Chain A
Amino acid sequence: MNFPPSAFDPSLSACICGCFRYGNLSPLSLIHYNNGAVYLLSKIAMKPLLFTVLAAYVVAAIHSILAFANKRRVLERVSFVALVFGFSVHTISLVTDWLRDGHYPLFGLRETLSFLAWTLVIAYFLTLGRYAAQALGSFTLPLVALLTFIASVTRGTTPATPDAVTESGAAWLFPIHTTLLVFAYASFFVVFAASVMYLLQERELKLKTFSAIFHRLPSLSTVNDIATTAAGIGFTLLTLGVISGMIWSSSRDGRLWHNDPKEIFAVLTWALYLVLVHYRYTARWRGRKAAWLGVAGFALVLCTFFGARLMGGYHVFG
């Protein structure tokens, strides 16, 4: 894509930011920018921070995959540096959003995706801190980049600010509820990725034929440990998230339960991870069955996450 030089003229971007501050395009501003590329550019100028983040994440993801394929330490380092940079800018961007918009930046689809990407990076960092599992990056970082991309081109439909949630007595609980759940989802993604790595390798060990990626993945023991630890953390966060949501909801309208699809899926998810955690923690090692549970659990997580949007209900605010 070719950027016209004027796109980065600071006064112009300030003007565009001014026009689009709250995400709604005014028809007037489109008189001068009446084609798709310019429209996209105007979105870029509107969210320079988020696009910087996106660029860094894309670089990190590509280098992580290249490092996975080529086994070059240099590429791993490039990926890590880009990721640290992207994550720092992302953090700044979340904080500025919070200060500017006056609400916790985890509401509506755009903010949720961006926040989820941020959380996944944290989960990846925490995993790297404890295990030599760079291969996890090749699973996580493309997703992080994709989420950030969707977030950056999604219209900033910050819905009629969250009056709906701020009016209740325990309003401070709402961000805690959502944050806990997003972190739980990130943990479950780690369980999922580790489970997939386990299954891929276990299959090859049983078949006794090894593909090229076999040598690049962390050992069975490592991925098993990662899945077990992440499942424990995710389950704890999920439990706390559900409880905080219930308290918030009861302080708002006196009801703990609304029979809403998201709530039903959440309970199913909770039950499945309860089984998974119990199953994993009652033996030294569980292996294949536990790994399949980790994959199934993540499918349920996706249903919970998107289910509400598709089926409507209490949890749809935007």
Chain B
Amino acid sequence: MSIILVGLNHKTAPVEVRERLAFTDEACAASLRALVDGELVREGLIVSTCNRVEVLAATAEKVSAPQTAQHITQFLSQSRSISHEFFSHHLYSHADDEAVRHVFRVASSLDSMVVGEPQVLGQVRRAYSLAVEAGTAGRVLSRLVHHALRVAKRVRTETGIASSAVSISYMAVELGRKIFGSLDGRTVLLVGAGEMAELSARHLVNAGAARVLVTNRTDETARKLAAEFGGEAVDYARLTSHLSRADIVICSTGAPDYVITQAIAREALAERRHAPSFFIDISVPRNIDPAIGGMSNLFVFDIDDLEAVIASNIREREREAERAELIVDSEVMQFQQALRALDIGPALGAMREKMQQIARAEMQRQRNRLGNLTPEQERAIEALLIATVNKISHPVMHRMRHSYDTGEEEDLQAWRDIFGLEE
């Protein structure tokens, strides 16, 4: 049994190639059934996201890795109806330990474009359930995927790989949490209706913010955006009084100068009885006077501040990723051990060996009675014995292999017990 992975990702292939190879969920199920022929490829799974297309396969014993890789490349070319010259030089292929390591790294988000991003774990899970539905995820790949999910969880909890935000909208959530503890029940005020402001507000609402106020020079735009959040469009002229209600203010107007000045901020702060406010200024030129940041209980971040923090968070993630690689290394070894225990091959080999030994021992016992034999005759008798034993044990081993492949643990154990084989 061997595990082979063939695929391409954002590092090896441009988007024009990735999009041509990508599988929809429906195409995925149908293709999987085509891939897994039971002869060469026993189990299969396809991970297809916007950044990667990877085919993972578990093969029968006697197939070499390059041969399988070749087979999978052909499969990709056929199932996507693309000539393999178009993509084959972007492909990488890994076998056994390296394939296992690759799957662990992908699930742990170490191979992602943004290291530590959480979506890839869900995508791996999705790929697995598609394979389960298609009936192509057998015991090897199931074990592998479950192990990968465990590794991903370990990496997440034991390293800081995903602990800090690396996008502006998540940054807003993270800093908001740092200041307010929980965002539950907080009020967000959008001044101006930019796309970035909208995205940040969406993340804040998902993180628990209760109310969204929207204000804009043109009321129509404000109303439209407010409707999307189930929020409230408020009067632009009365900005100060709305500011005093808001815990988090996201400013993104096209105004050429400061919309929120020190005087306005001071007034709002007094009205809030000194409860802190968090200002995010994503407009260029800036709309919030940076001097406000010097005032007690007011925290101002402009676009450059956020970018700088994000850059340092990315460096931090990369440092943590090195620790994560060590975890992956040790897990690959553990998986390899688990896999060896799982493999039926050695057990069958041992059984055949045992039978043949019995035959040879019987031959030795009766040898004297046979009198003088030519070496040819002697070999012929031995061959006869071995062939008989093999012919008798063959259907048994075939049944065992079948029980193993279909996961009938009890039958398998019964066969083992009959022949006195240790697990």
Which residues does A use to contact B, with CB under 8 Å? 71-73, 201, 205-206, 208-210, 214-215, 218-222, 283-289
Which residues does B use to contact A, with CB under 8 Å? 157-158, 160, 163-164, 175, 177-181, 272-276, 293-294, 296-297, 299, 301, 305, 308-309, 312
A residues near B294, Cβ cutoff 8 Å: 206
Q: List 8 A-B contacts (CB under 8 A).
A: A71-B160, A214-B178, A219-B179, A284-B272, A284-B274, A287-B276, A288-B296, A288-B297
A residues near B308, Cβ cutoff 8 Å: 208-209
A residues near B293, Cβ cutoff 8 Å: 206
Rounded to whole angstroms, the CA-CA distance of A289 and B275 in the bound complex is 14
Residue in A205, A218, A286, A289 with the greatest tally of chain B CB atoms within 10 Å: A205
Contact present for A208 and B296 (CB under 8 Å): no
B residues near A209, Cβ cutoff 8 Å: 308-309, 312
Contact present for A220 and B275 (CB under 8 Å): no
A residues near B179, Cβ cutoff 8 Å: 205, 219-221
Contact present for A221 and B274 (CB under 8 Å): no
Rounded to whole angstroms, the CA-CA distance of A219 and B184 in the bound complex is 14
Contact present for A220 and B276 (CB under 8 Å): yes
Rounded to whole angstroms, the CA-CA distance of A221 and B277 in the bound complex is 11
Which A residue's beta carbon lies closest to that of B174?
A: A215
Contact present for A287 and B181 (CB under 8 Å): no
Which A residue's beta carbon lies closest to that of B276?
A: A285
| Distance between A70 CB and nearest chain B CB, rounded to angstroms | 8
Contact present for B178 and A219 (CB under 8 Å): yes
Contact present for B177 and A219 (CB under 8 Å): yes
Contact present for A72 and B273 (CB under 8 Å): no
Contact present for B299 and A285 (CB under 8 Å): no
Contact present for B273 and A205 (CB under 8 Å): no
Set A71, A73, A201, A284: member contacting B178, Cβ < 8 A:
A201
Rounded to whole angstroms, the CA-CA distance of A219 and B274 in the bound complex is 17
| Distance between B158 CB and nearest chain A CB, rounded to angstroms | 7
Rounded to whole angstroms, the CA-CA distance of A288 and B297 in the bound complex is 8
Rounded to whole angstroms, the CA-CA distance of A289 and B274 in the bound complex is 12
Contact present for A285 and B180 (CB under 8 Å): no
Contact present for B163 and A222 (CB under 8 Å): no
A285-B275, A287-B297 known; A219 vs B181 contact (CB < 8 Å): yes
Q: A72-B157, A284-B272 provided; 17 other pairs, C-beta below 8 A?
A: A71-B163, A206-B294, A209-B308, A214-B178, A215-B160, A219-B177, A219-B179, A220-B180, A221-B179, A221-B180, A284-B274, A285-B273, A285-B275, A286-B274, A286-B297, A287-B274, A287-B276
Rounded to whole angstroms, the CA-CA distance of A219 and B180 in the bound complex is 6
Contact present for A283 and B274 (CB under 8 Å): yes
Contact present for A72 and B312 (CB under 8 Å): no
| Distance between B295 CB and nearest chain A CB, rounded to angstroms | 10
Q: Which 3 A-B residue pairs are closest in the complex by CB-CB distance?
A: A219-B181, A221-B181, A283-B274
| Distance between A268 CB and nearest chain B CB, rounded to angstroms | 26
B residues near A218, Cβ cutoff 8 Å: 181
A205-B178, A215-B163 known; A287 vs B309 contact (CB < 8 Å): no
Rounded to whole angstroms, the CA-CA distance of A288 and B296 in the bound complex is 7
Rounded to whole angstroms, the CA-CA distance of A208 and B293 in the bound complex is 10
Contact present for A284 and B296 (CB under 8 Å): no
Rounded to whole angstroms, the CA-CA distance of A57 and B160 in the bound complex is 28
Rounded to whole angstroms, the CA-CA distance of A156 and B177 in the bound complex is 49
A210-B312, A215-B164 known; A284 vs B181 contact (CB < 8 Å): no
Contact present for B276 and A208 (CB under 8 Å): no
Rounded to whole angstroms, the CA-CA distance of A215 and B309 in the bound complex is 13
Contact present for B157 and A73 (CB under 8 Å): yes
B residues near A205, Cβ cutoff 8 Å: 175, 178-179, 299
Rounded to whole angstroms, the CA-CA distance of A287 and B275 in the bound complex is 9
Set B164, B181, B274, B296: member contacting A222, Cβ < 8 A:
B181
| Distance between B249 CB and nearest chain A CB, rounded to angstroms | 15
| Distance between B181 CB and nearest chain A CB, rounded to angstroms | 4
Set A208, A285, A288: member contacting B309, Cβ < 8 A:
A208
Which B residue's beta carbon lies closest to that of A219?
A: B181
Rounded to whole angstroms, the CA-CA distance of A209 and B177 in the bound complex is 16
Which B residue's beta carbon lies closest to that of A218?
A: B181
| Distance between A205 CB and nearest chain B CB, rounded to angstroms | 5
Which A residue's beta carbon lies closest to that of B178?
A: A219
| Distance between A55 CB and nearest chain B CB, rounded to angstroms | 28
Rounded to whole angstroms, the CA-CA distance of A215 and B308 in the bound complex is 17
Contact present for A210 and B309 (CB under 8 Å): yes
Rounded to whole angstroms, the CA-CA distance of A231 and B401 in the bound complex is 72
Rounded to whole angstroms, the CA-CA distance of A215 and B312 in the bound complex is 13
A residues near B305, Cβ cutoff 8 Å: 208
A209-B312, A210-B312 known; A287 vs B296 contact (CB < 8 Å): yes
Residue in B160, B296, B301, B312 with the greatest tally of chain A CB atoms within 10 Å: B296
A73-B157, A205-B179, A219-B177 known; A285 vs B297 contact (CB < 8 Å): yes
Rounded to whole angstroms, the CA-CA distance of A222 and B275 in the bound complex is 13
A residues near B181, Cβ cutoff 8 Å: 218-222
B residues near A201, Cβ cutoff 8 Å: 178
| Distance between B279 CB and nearest chain A CB, rounded to angstroms | 12
| Distance between A141 CB and nearest chain B CB, rounded to angstroms | 23
A residues near B299, Cβ cutoff 8 Å: 205-206
A residues near B158, Cβ cutoff 8 Å: 72
Rounded to whole angstroms, the CA-CA distance of A71 and B275 in the bound complex is 30
Rounded to whole angstroms, the CA-CA distance of A73 and B158 in the bound complex is 9
Rounded to whole angstroms, the CA-CA distance of A206 and B308 in the bound complex is 14
Rounded to whole angstroms, the CA-CA distance of A201 and B294 in the bound complex is 15
A residues near B275, Cβ cutoff 8 Å: 284-285
Contact present for A284 and B273 (CB under 8 Å): yes
Which B residue's beta carbon lies closest to that of A221?
A: B181
Which B residue's beta carbon lies closest to that of A287?
A: B297
A residues near B273, Cβ cutoff 8 Å: 283-285
Which B residue's beta carbon lies closest to that of A71?
A: B160
| Distance between B164 CB and nearest chain A CB, rounded to angstroms | 7
B residues near A71, Cβ cutoff 8 Å: 160, 163
Rounded to whole angstroms, the CA-CA distance of A206 and B179 in the bound complex is 12
Rounded to whole angstroms, the CA-CA distance of A71 and B179 in the bound complex is 20
Rounded to whole angstroms, the CA-CA distance of A36 and B74 in the bound complex is 80
| Distance between A220 CB and nearest chain B CB, rounded to angstroms | 5
Rounded to whole angstroms, the CA-CA distance of A36 and B305 in the bound complex is 58
A residues near B164, Cβ cutoff 8 Å: 215
Residue in A201, A219, A289 with the greatest tally of chain B CB atoms within 10 Å: A219
| Distance between B179 CB and nearest chain A CB, rounded to angstroms | 5
Rounded to whole angstroms, the CA-CA distance of A317 and B222 in the bound complex is 73
Rounded to whole angstroms, the CA-CA distance of A178 and B169 in the bound complex is 53
Set A72, A210, A219, A289: member contacting B296, Cβ < 8 A:
A289
Which B residue's beta carbon lies closest to that of A132?
A: B181
